Structure 1
Amino acid sequence: MAEESESEDGNYGSLDYRNVSRLQLGTYEFDTWFGNPVLFTHNEPEFLGFKQLQKAVKVTTSNKKYLEFNEAKKIWIPKLYFCPNCFKYTDIQDEMDIHIQCCTYRKKLPGKIMYHDGEVSIRKVKGSKHKLFCQCMCILAKFFLGNKSVFFNLDFYDFYIIYKKLNGVPTPMGFYSRELLSWEANNLSCILVIPCYQKQQLGTKLIDFSYHLSNYEQIISGPERPLSPFGKISYLSFWSKALVRAFIYGNLSTYRHITLEIISRKTGFRTEDIILALDYMEVLFESGEKNTLLDYYSWNSKSDDGFVYLEDDNYKIYISKVKLKKWLVEKQVSSETSLNPSRLILY
């Protein structure tokens, strides 16, 4: 079984092909999406790294075998077995079967509960305190996040893990990480819902929680850039639905003139993310340059309630509430958010 390991360089792990074909997580089995060399012995592509610590494999300084596998894009291991509770891993099924039966994480969950609504819960787990758990979770995530590069040096990361009961056992189904020393004050570094647990709105709940936490901390924030293709899709959907709710049902519904700064304060979103979402929904329009000799508010060519005027220094810009309502209907956006704010337990 995997044991705790440290690396001087936590910023590596690039491989341009899938070196492990499939993963088994409890009773679920599924394909990997990306390669992951970091859990293997150096220069020995067929041996997991923890076996080197157990002295089960002899270390070699020659990279001949590694280059041979890499050039031919050979599979290093056909299948890896991960514990669905603590994410320890092995390539031997019998070892995993024995471990799962006695895994302490089946009953004793790590970290502190931050949200619980009877169906799902979100727990805050410090990378500095639960090192092995977080390392193994990040190693699993690398198989599904092509741009993930931090696996071992996790002291300055917090992890927010979403749990849901599976056969009566609280099971970690996804997580997001947050860098504690982020120069850009990002509220999320990377996010993953494990493939076998997707299609349950768990990613939306995690993103929603990240903004509730930022709101509690009284900061305007957002995810770390660049976003992965799947991350961009998830965030555009989340931002768009949140803005539609705010303009149609919520605290932006009475505005006729508005600024990006007001929208940002009301939603907690960065202004660049607001523009991305409005453009994504195709509800943002401009109608020529402003005439600096005229009062901006006297422009009445769109004077009915179907428009909200977005103040800009150079252009006449407006948001179509008609298109917002149409988008809301087409996407079947509920007036309720994915999380119940009354169930938050923030510090």
Structure 2
Amino acid sequence: MTTSVAQPSQPPTTAAATGATNHGTRPGRAAKGTSRGVQTDRNIDKVVLGSICFRAWYPSYYGKDLLGDIAGGKDGKSNGTAPPHHYETKDDAGGAKSHGRRDRDGHHPPMLDRLYVCPCCFKYSKELVTWWEHVRACERRGFLPGEKIYIHPKGRRTVLVPAGPGPKQGRGKRGSGGGQKMAQEVVQDEGEWSIREVDGESNVLFCQNLSLFAKLFLDNKSVFFDVTGFQYYLLVHTPPPAGPIDPDPDADIAAVEPPRGQIVGFFSKEKMSWDNNNLACILIFPPWQRKGLGALLMGVSYEISRREGLLGGPEKPISDLGKRGYKRYWAGEIARWILSLDPHPPPQQEDNPPPETVVDVEECSRATWIAPEDCLAVLREMDVAEEAGWGPPRVREPTAAEEINGPGGGGTEPAAAEVQRVRISQAAVRAWVVANRISLERACDPDGFVEGYGQKASARASEELL
């Protein structure tokens, strides 16, 4: 398929706005028209991650040592940091509360009221005191698994924030947040945003606990325990050091506690993917959503693929919320590439036609490292293409063998058959970008990676082929 890109005579002067990624967004804040709220078969009501408490969206497969007493009132063995005894609340024994709809027998399905999760290692407990003792010990260690592979440059970002008061809630009803109007706000990054690569085989317990925690906010996650075949990429925010208000020159500088990094999201990918998938699961934890961080993780996954020389994309099928996030990311990459083209007047044409250049989907895919089928899906979604009749295809660059030996068959290369063309106006692309608040800035800076990361693997693969 050949795409003809037309250059406008006077490009619009409006600037594109930065859009936040909604991957992993709360079900109640899904696309318009969805009436699904928080899922009713949840087995955990709220989670406490460090000093933040927020509601779980979906059930997770924590063991009977944690949830077994909810269903049958029996004790279970300890896992993570959970003690081998009940955590009772005033509503029910074993930390169970009655929430949501009734089951077939007319009883409310039981639910653990609070799950306490360590923000460092993601070990969990239903006992507040035991959990807090573990967190203090874990924070003193200041340990984060894996190796730092990427540091995002500081800059200005556009995020979505609530505009005005939220919608009124009726008595006894839980608001889903679907009616909350959002506005854009430009913020200046503070501290450090970094990516750490964690091997699932070397950090089995950490990756298992992270996967169980992620299931509380993902509807279709399926890998929890067999994590050895995956790499995990943690998004870590380290706040700037907080200096004393009245510094004492005689104070011991070494005694000042350095800021601790906070894991705010992650993505995972298979170590060996026959489909060249560069991502298996992605999640930004709810308190840090709507800040454009999902696009950062997507950009990192594609940059890693580029460095490894593998053209791929996320594992499919993609969830509805995942499609929304990826379409915004793909649209930004493809729109930036289209707008970077420099059309020139067609040769041997009269009546002064507008400048244009002929490209195809394969060239778009090679330039953006987005799979051809995903490029086509986004171009159809943008709806900026016009029929342009038939014409010769884009001239293909000869391979190294063809440059030496000439075209195959010992003769001249036959004339290529005409193909159907479409025309994409750069002015229409700019207007679509502005209307949909798509960011044209690169989500991931290639210079932020540590020197040589990802290139050793591709170099070894090239040596094996020689």
- Structures share fold, TM-score greater than 0.5: yes
Match of 2:433 in 1: 328
Q: Distance in 2 between matches of 1:244 and 1:142?
A: 33
**TM-score normalized by the length of structure 1:** 0.79
Unpaired runs of 5+ in structure 2? 1-38, 87-101, 154-191, 241-258, 344-355, 395-415, 455-466
Aligned match for 1:190, one of 276, 281, 289: 281
Q: Does 1:173 align with 2:264?
A: yes
Partners of 2:83 and 2:125 within 8 A in 1: no
**SS of aligned partner of 1:256:** strand
Query: Structure 1 stretch 145-154 or stretch 28-37: which is displaced more?
Result: 28-37
Once the two structures are superposed, residues 245-289 of structure 1 have per-residue CA deviations (whole angstroms, 9 ceiling, x without a partner) of: 11113xx4547111111111111000111111112222233356x
Point out the structure with max Rg over C-alpha.
Answer: 2
> What letter corresponds to residue 223 of structure 2 in structure 1?
V
Q: Distance in 2 between matches of 1:222 and 1:98?
A: 42
Q: Distance in 2 between matches of 1:329 and 1:178?
A: 32
Match of 1:132 in 2: 205
Match of 1:273 in 2: 374
Give the alignment of 1:16-35 within 5 angstroms. Answer: 17-35=41-59
Partners of 1:179 and 1:188 within 8 A in 2: yes
Once the two structures are superposed, residues 165-221 of structure 1 have per-residue CA deviations (whole angstroms, 9 ceiling, x without a partner) of: 258311111000001122211000010001011122211111000011000011111
Q: Distance in 1 between matches of 2:85 and 2:53?
A: 27
Match of 1:44 in 2: 68
Query: Structure 1 stretch 321-330 or stretch 20-29: which is displaced more?
Result: 321-330
Unpaired runs of 5+ in structure 1? 1-14, 59-68, 298-310
Match of 1:258 in 2: 359
Aligned match for 2:227, one of 147, 154, 158: 154
Q: Distance in 1 between matches of 2:368 and 2:235?
A: 23
**SS of aligned partner of 2:278:** coil
**SS of aligned partner of 2:195:** strand
Match of 1:343 in 2: 448
**SS of aligned partner of 1:184:** coil
Q: Does 1:211 align with 2:316?
A: no
- Looking at both structures, which has the greater relative contact order when contacts are Cα pairs under 8 Å and sequence separation is at least 6? 2
**TM-score normalized by the length of structure 2:** 0.60
> What letter corresponds to residue 231 of structure 1 in structure 2?
G
> What letter corresponds to residue 51 of structure 1 in structure 2?
S
- Residue 104 to residue 274, structure 1, CA distance change in 2 (3 Å): same
- Residue 257 to residue 105, structure 1, CA distance change in 2 (3 Å): farther
Q: Distance in 1 between matches of 2:335 and 2:114?
A: 44
> What letter corresponds to residue 124 of structure 1 in structure 2?
E
- Residue 245 to residue 93, structure 1, CA distance change in 2 (3 Å): same
- Residue 269 to residue 318, structure 1, CA distance change in 2 (3 Å): same
Match of 2:293 in 1: 202
Match of 1:95 in 2: 130
Aligned match for 1:78, one of 109, 113, 116: 113
